[in-house]
Amino acid sequence: MLKEKTGIGPGLFFMVLYVSLFGYGVIHAPRVAAEYIGPNGYWGFILAFILSFPVMAGIAWLGRRFPNCSVIEYLPRLFGGFFGKILGFLLLVAILVLMIRTSRIFSGGVNIFFLRRTPAWASAAFFLLVSLYIARQGIEGITRLAAFVFPLTFVLSFLAILFSMEYMELDNIRPVFFFESGLAVAAGTANLFYPFMVLLTVLLINPYLTRKEKSFPVMAGATTLASFLILLTIVSGIGNYGAEGILRYSFPVFELSRKAQLPFVL
């Protein structure tokens, strides 16, 4: 049983989840949508968003059933000692891989747009070390950082997406309801589900929530807001560059930010 005195209210939980999901999901979403589905690749993300609700419901149910236990503690109760420990280990490995992939993505963007002469491994190591340092401070450090980052990311990203839509062409996102094959939609939906892998981290946060009955509404609200902005980014990216044109860019989101021409941003 956890004896941590620190608690996270619904507001802080909302900000932590929004910042994590949006930051991880927005970078490659336009490219993935265009690559697997085409001009109307946004449908893949919409379907992935719908599929995330059963996942959130399951996470909220586990949080209510085991209110003061970490996921590592209650997995052996659900699946037995051996399989529960294996699943707990796999969960920790998945979260570690998520952190490493996130560090690699952001370091790649920084190397291309800001620090071109810096070795990629140095940037990746820096981001990973910063992540580990923040995680070492515990839940208080993570929530303080999220509370600081949330208003900045929301306002700047919304303005960048809004201004970039000035140059989009509607023909680039048509036809809306025509799909080459159901297999392409399924593949696009599966690959566009990657932003919602961040929901796994909620399993570690659940014991610290002060109002666990609010966990599902807060998760749904944060996921909906982040998904709405990611969806707008996909539509704007494909609308500006076309499904084939956007594949030329490794980081189309940064290109959209340049096109928005926000001063002092990029």
80: region left, alpha or beta (phi > 0 left; psi from -120 to 50 alpha): left
Residue with tokens 């666990």, as numbered in its chain = 212
Mean pLDDT score across all residues of the chain: 80
CA-based radius of gyration for the chain: 19
Q: Helix, strand or coil for residue 218?
A: helix
Which of the two residues, 59 and 113, has the higher pLDDT score? 59
Q: What is the pLDDT of residue 54?
A: 94
Q: What is the pLDDT of residue 207?
A: 82
pLDDT 10s digits, 168-212: 887 778 777 776 777 888 888 898 898 898 888 888 888 888 888
Q: What is the pLDDT of residue 260?
A: 64
Q: What is the pLDDT of residue 138?
A: 66
What are the distances in angstroms from CA 9 to CA 36, 143, 152, 162, 227? 39, 10, 20, 31, 22
Q: What is the pLDDT of residue 3?
A: 46
pLDDT score of 75 more than 90? no
pLDDT 10s digits, 84-123: 889 888 888 887 787 777 767 666 666 666 666 767 677 6
What are 196's two structure tokens? Answer: 């919602």
Q: What is the pLDDT of residue 107?
A: 67
CA 244, CA 247: separation in Å to the nearest integer? Answer: 6
Which of the two residues, 28 and 221, has the higher pLDDT score? 221
User: CB within 8 A of 74, min separation 6: which ones?
Assistant: 62, 65, 66
- Alpha helices in the chain, H assignment, sequence order: 10-25, 29-36, 42-65, 71-79, 81-113, 120-136, 139-164, 182-191, 202-205, 215-241, 252-260
pLDDT score of 264 more than 60? no
CA 112, CA 215: separation in Å to the nearest integer? Answer: 38
pLDDT 10s digits, 120-155: 677 667 767 777 776 666 666 677 777 777 888 888
